[in-house]
Amino acid sequence: MTEPQHGDRPHSPGPSLYPIAFAAGIACILVGLIVNPKIIVPIGAVIAIVFGVLWARDATEEFRGEPVHAIEPESGGPPESKDAPVIQGEAAMPAPETGERFPRNRFLEGATLGLGAVIGGLVTVPAIGFMIVPAFKGQGYSKVDLGPLSEFPEGQWRITSFFMRPPDGEVSRRTAYIRNNGPLNGEPSFTIISNRCAHLGCPVQPNGPEQPDQTKQLDGKGGQKVTLTPVLPAGGFGCPCHGGQYDTEGNRTAGPPVRALDRYQFAIVEGRLILGKPFSVAKVDGQGKDAQIHAYKLAGPGQHVDGWEQILYPLQPPH
């Protein structure tokens, strides 16, 4: 009797590339959430869905009753001898048909796939949640009572310092430049400009004299302290870091900033000025109460809010 040669041994089919492509799609989605959700995430989702379906079809091919190709021996081995002795005997059980699966095999395969999916979910979902959710949680802005309208004379500017969240102390201190524009349609009108430069976020300064000897401090509820300092920013505002320049409406006039200064919403409640949410501005047409503000959702420093460039920036968490 001759010994079986290597060429007589059947071999299993090569591993599928579908799981690798599916994992690449998931990785693309995770990277896209940070880099560019508008473009990269959809691409990663398409890759993950397509190859996930193909992987599932490949893994469940036998369950769906589709024929499975029999394993063929490798070619190149020595031909079997017709004179080789054959041991005769009765089979203990009928030989399985091509592609036949036993119930226990099916159960074990299904249980393995299901358990793997559960383990994968338990491992990846919490990690992704802890990575993404904090950026979208607790990002709201509280309304700030800046004091009575009598503290903001018509036509005059005030450097206004306040706490966005008084319990957090100095780390939440913000500064805005506020001007009372006078009445508009029977209601007071205000220009409230953020001091955050639209280039890299440095604090811009007024291009004009301040009057610190006339500074007032107002104590509000919950530990709020509002400081008001008169200023005459006749030359607009300037950034001491990189030379960005803005006019008195916050429009960029020189330097590297890509847009106008951010502004704040406001409301008048029982004769008091209430500061609302900040928003970004592309540009401002006109002045004072007659200004037409091209407003957008709050964006980070250096980010375009209009034009095709806006698609190049990552998704901003809700504010």
> Among 7-21, 162-176, 279-293, 295-309, which is the least confidently predicted range?
7-21
The number of CA neighbours under 13 Å toward the Cβ of 63 is: 13
Residue 189 has pLDDT above 70, yes or no: yes
d(C-alpha 39, C-alpha 34), whole Å: 11
Encode pLDDT of 247-300 as tens digits: 999 999 999 999 999 999 999 998 899 999 999 999 999 988 889 999 998 888
Residue 82 has pLDDT above 60, yes or no: no
pLDDT, position 25 = 80
Residue 91 has pLDDT above 70, yes or no: no
205-206 sheet: strands from edge to edge: 205-206, 237-238, 245-246, 252-254
pLDDT, position 172 = 86
d(C-alpha 157, C-alpha 176), whole Å: 10
Encode pLDDT of 95-146 as tens digits: 666 655 566 667 777 777 777 777 777 767 777 766 666 665 655 677 888 9
Kindly report the average pLDDT of the chain as a whole number: 79
Q: What is the mean pLDDT of residues 201-220?
A: 91
Residue 78 has pLDDT above 60, yes or no: no
Residue 202 has pLDDT above 60, yes or no: yes
Higher-confidence residue of 256 and 61: namely 256
Q: What is the mean pLDDT of residues 72-77?
A: 53
Domains of the chain: 6-77+86-136 (no CATH), 144-312 (2.102.10.10)
Higher-confidence residue of 189 and 307: namely 189
Q: What is the mean pLDDT of residues 202-206?
A: 94
pLDDT band at 65 (very low <50, low <70, confident <90, very high): low
Of 250, 253, 206, give the one whose Cα is nearest residue 229. 206
Q: What is the mean pLDDT of residues 308-318?
A: 64
Residue 305 has pLDDT above 70, yes or no: yes
Instruction: Say if residues 38 and 29 touch (Cβ distance below 8 Å).
Output: no
The number of CA neighbours under 13 Å toward the Cβ of 211 is: 12
pLDDT, position 93 = 61
Among 22-26, 38-42, 183-187, the range of highest mean pLDDT: 183-187
d(C-alpha 93, C-alpha 249), whole Å: 91
- Contacts of residue 207, Cβ cutoff 8 Å, sequence gap at least 6: 233, 234, 235, 236, 237, 238, 245
Instruction: Say if residues 198 and 242 touch (Cβ distance below 8 Å).
Output: no
Q: What is the mean pLDDT of residues 50-77?
A: 66
Q: Encoding tokens for residue 169? A: 């102390």
Residue 218: how many other CB atoms lie within 10 Å: 16
Q: What is the mean pLDDT of residues 136-162?
A: 84
Encode pLDDT of 92-105 as tens digits: 566 666 655 566 66
pLDDT, position 231 = 94
